[in-house]
Amino acid sequence: MKNHISRTTAKALIATIFTLFAFTSNIFAQENAKNGEKLFKLNCATCHKSHTDQKLTGPGLKGVFDRVQSGSMSKDEWMKKWILNNEKMIKAGDAYANKIFNDNGKATMSVFEGQLTDADVADIMAFIKGPAPIEGPVTGTTTGPTATGDPVDGGTKVEPLYLILGTIVILAILLGAFRSVRNSMQNAANRAEGKAENPDLTFWQETKEWMSGHRRLVGVFAIVIGFIGMKSCWDACYDIGVYYDWETQKGYKPEQPIKFSHKLHAGDNEIACQYCHSSVEKSRHAGIPSVNICMNCHKGIQSGPQYAEKEINKIYNAAGFDPKTQTYDKKKENPLTWIKVHNLPDHVYFNHSQHVVVGKIECTTCHGDVKSMTVAEQKAPLTMKWCIECHRKTEVAMEGNAYYDRLHKALKEKYAGQYDVKFTVEKIGGLECAKCHY
């Protein structure tokens, strides 16, 4: 009878685990579309509208799966190949790929092979196939900062983790109830047969007894749970960022001591980024402009198009400058305290000069279209995942360097017909941990 009870307990535990996995799989299926929405916004939204016919740089994606002419392969398989490497499909002579290429003015789409995984692409397709996202204010709980830098905490939203924990609690209660019923029925059967009742063991005692008799199975469960935990930790570290809310896709946008408009200065007046951020080509830091930089222009320009003299007077106050007498008074200086917008975790090393001068990376790659911003804000997530994906897809700038030209040519000849060779940052050690963390 003892063995029978152990087998029953084992069956109950296995059934509970499978029930839990079946329940949580539905939750994760919903999360796939959510993840697809995030990936779409990061990689595709600048060129495509997801659920309308409106054309941006590329066509709107409403009904895109109905339009696909995939030939012998499934439509999903064709779309996955197209998203990962459209250039390869065009060169291979795929009829529908070339039709899209020609219909859109022969504008090539970005190649995401090596940047997005098959699972990422599947999530993006799940998002496109699903219902259109609800536009308007976000009502769920967010942890991102407001314009003043304060976290937002409004509305109610149940996170998947809480659903899983709630499910575990409910299943534990049900398991305890079934165990009590089973013991009562077993003891009733024993009494009817004139046998002694089973000893009254606690749930923990019975569990330990079962575990001691099924050590291999317990070991397998422990290994599986351990790997799931490590994968969860890795995913969490992969998306660590400062002041970026993945739910709303919003970054830091603080109010500065002066209402400085990048649109007016960098956009309308075409002042180069390097003029104000003078150390960006020489140092790891881009540098915050001193008030002397502002005074180079505003000693003569004393009124602005939007705020007139109000904001420019703050510059004069900081510099201790009297616009009427055109003189400075050091005793009246009141230095400005600018608020840094783009922040990385303290354990991350990032060098601006390495990227701007050597890598020839444009400022907009990391900072967005600053020339259109009235108030500077964080556009990119600046997470480890985001940086790694950039290193995987960005080719090394080799123009004018005969050594790299020769090396690149040799690589193409060596791997001709085997790989689509691209000499990316990844191939020169751009994914080594010590490059950014040491």
The dihedrals phi and psi of 158, each to the nearest 5 degrees, come to: -90, 120
Q: Summarize the chain as % helix, strand, coil (round to 5).
A: 50, 5, 45
Looking at the DSSP bridge assignments, the partners of residue 250 are 245
pLDDT computed for residue 159 by the predictor: 56
391-423 in b/e form (b: 16+ CB < 10 A) is bbbbebeeeeeeeeeeebeeeeeeeeeeeeebb
Q: Which of 302, 291, 285 is nearest to 257 (CA)?
A: 291
pLDDT computed for residue 174 by the predictor: 83
CA 229 to chain CA mean position, Å: 20
pLDDT computed for residue 155 by the predictor: 42
Calpha distance 214→11 (Å, rounded): 12
The crossing angle, in degrees rounded to 10, of helices 215-238 and 203-213 is 100
Cβ contact 223:231 at 8 Å: no
Percent of the chain whose predicted confidence (pLDDT) is above 90: 25
3-class SS at 322?
A: strand
Q: What is the pTM of this model?
A: 0.53
Cβ contact 328:299 at 8 Å: no
pLDDT computed for residue 24 by the predictor: 55
CB burial of residue 236 (10 Å; 0-12, 13-18, 19+): exposed
Calpha distance 218→210 (Å, rounded): 10
Cβ contact 280:287 at 8 Å: yes
Highest average pLDDT, of 193-202, 239-248, 378-387, 390-399, comes from: 378-387
255-266 pLDDT, tens digit per residue, is 999 999 999 999
- Indicate if the pLDDT at residue 167 is higher than 60: yes
327-384 pLDDT, tens digit per residue, is 999 899 998 899 999 999 888 999 999 999 888 899 999 998 999 999 999 988 898 8
Percent of the chain whose predicted confidence (pLDDT) is above 70: 84
pLDDT computed for residue 157 by the predictor: 47
- Indicate if the pLDDT at residue 272 is higher than 70: yes
Domain positions in the chain: 1-47+109-250, 262-377, 395-438
